[in-house]
Each structure stands twice: as C-alpha cells, then as structure tokens.
Amino acid sequence: MSLKIYIDGKLIDKQDAKISVFDHGLLYGDGVFEGIRAYKCLVFKLKEHIDRLYESAHTIMLSIPLSKQEMAAAVVETLKANDLADAYIRLVVTRGVGDLGMDPRKCPKPSVIIITDKIKLYPEQLYRDGLKIITVPTVRNLSEALNPQIKSLNYLNNIMAKIEAVNSGVEEAILLNSLGFVTECTGDNIFVVKNGEVYTPPQYMGLLRGITRDTVLDLGRAAKISMREQIMTRHEIFNADEMFLTGTAAEIIPVVQVDGRVIGEGKPGALTLKLMKAFHAATRKNGVKYSLR
C-alpha cells in the first residue's frame, strides 16, 4: 500500500505528493510544524501539540485554514488511511504559494501537510547503553532574533549543530546560549540528576518548552521526585550523577558521556530508568484514541 500524504484536504499517494517551488515554506522556511507520536492507536498529547502549532502560527501571523478540531480529525484520518497504529506524525503549515519576494502578503493561501510514517531516531542499543554527546561551537539562536518557542520550518541553527556532532562522530550536540549557559540539544531537551534531584534548564535560557519535557516533569513530581528548572553550565552537566534527553521522536534517552567526561557511573541511572518506564506507561493513556478499519 502506498503511503498517503494529507495535503490541503486531500490524501495523495507519497510519490505524487508535491508542493510548489514558489511555496514560501520551501523558499524561506516560512511556516511552522509539529512532530507527534501515535502509540497503539492513541495520538499522544494531540491537544497539546495542536495548541502549540497554533501558537507558533499566531506568533508569525500565519492563519491556519483549519480549526483545531478539524486539524485533529485530519491527523486521525491520515493515520487511518495509512493503517498505522504506531507512527510518527509530522504536521506542517506553510505560508503557501507566493512570488520570489519575501512579502507574506503575496501568499494568499497557507498549505497544510500531514505526514504519518515510522521513525527510529536512535538505535535500540543506545537506549540501553546511553549516548555519548558533545558541546558544539554553534550557539543557540538568540530569543530576541527568533524565539525558540516557534517551531518554524527554518531549523538551520539546529542542523548546523547536528553537522558538528556528526563530524565529531556522535549522534547529538548540546547548544549553549550566547552567555555560555546550557539550552538544549539539536532536537531534544536536557535533564540531569544530582543527589536524587532532577534538573532541566528553564525556558528563558533560550530553549523550546518541549511537550515530552513537560510530561517528564509532571511524571517525576507525581512520583515524588524533586524536579526543578535550574540554570546550568557545562560544569553542572560534567558532574551530574545521571543525564538524559527528551523529545517526541527520541522519547527519553540516557546520556553517559559529554565532551569526553563520563557522566556518573557511565551507564543509564536508576532515576532515568524509572522515568523511562513511567513515560512509556503514560504514552498509552494521554491522548486521542482511534480505531483502524
């Protein structure tokens, strides 16, 4: 069965799914997106993801031509069309077709694209053994220039950092802000554990407030674990007892080495494993259920 892609109200075979070369999402990265997961016919945190998509669009003055309810229904429709119980969902809204200038007024009709497929961000072994990562020279975009709460189609800041990680032989990279404080990785939020407490950088340091990040904070507090937002330098990371990353595609993945420094005992720690287990249970409960034909 050919994968079906939702484009502006129609389900189109993957090989026939196309956008115009004049779409400003392609020409200028002018648009927004969300990555969402479905687990066993449950779209995890669908409302939260759609709310964030519409907030990103509102900030860049992009009017999405569907209501939130219609967008949620289109996500489920696309999953059903592809007979997917477990999937990664990419919601994309572009400014639409315009001319070769940047003026958004020349784009009268935004486009909505929904892709549902499988994803495997990291090999299973890394979830058991942990990641080795580095800090890279690329600095996180200044919030005053491009607010990280906007999940825009221009991810070049993240991609440049990813290139530096790949060139160094690792899978992921930490980006610092212009003051040298830890923000996030190229696609994941950062958590460390020290003396039984769990810390993550606060949003105002210049990072995306991830939905998986917030889920982990809630799960930890429900389990009576001390969960705090705290400004971090690399010193705090190097001397952590445990470290892990969170993201929609990555879920929760342990980190065992940063910039050549072993984190804790050099293996996934007890609190990390506890939160991983709690998160996997949560993905079966919190979201929108659907059924396949």
Where in the sequence numbering do the catalytic residues fall?
151
SS3 76: helix
Using CA atoms of 153, 252, 177, 239 in order, give the dihedral in degrees to the nearest 10. Answer: -170
- Give the whole-angstrom CA distance, residue 263 versus residue 123: 20
In eight-state DSSP terms, residue 86 is S
Question: What residues does 135 pair with on adjacent strands?
Answer: 174
How far lies 204's CA from each of 137, 169, 242, in Å?
20, 30, 23
Q: Which two tokens stand for residue 191?
A: 């958590």
Neighbours of 105 (CB within 10 A): 7
Which residues touch 284 (CB under 8 Å, ≥6 apart)?
A: 39, 40, 42
Task: Provide the residue type at 83 as one letter.
Answer: D
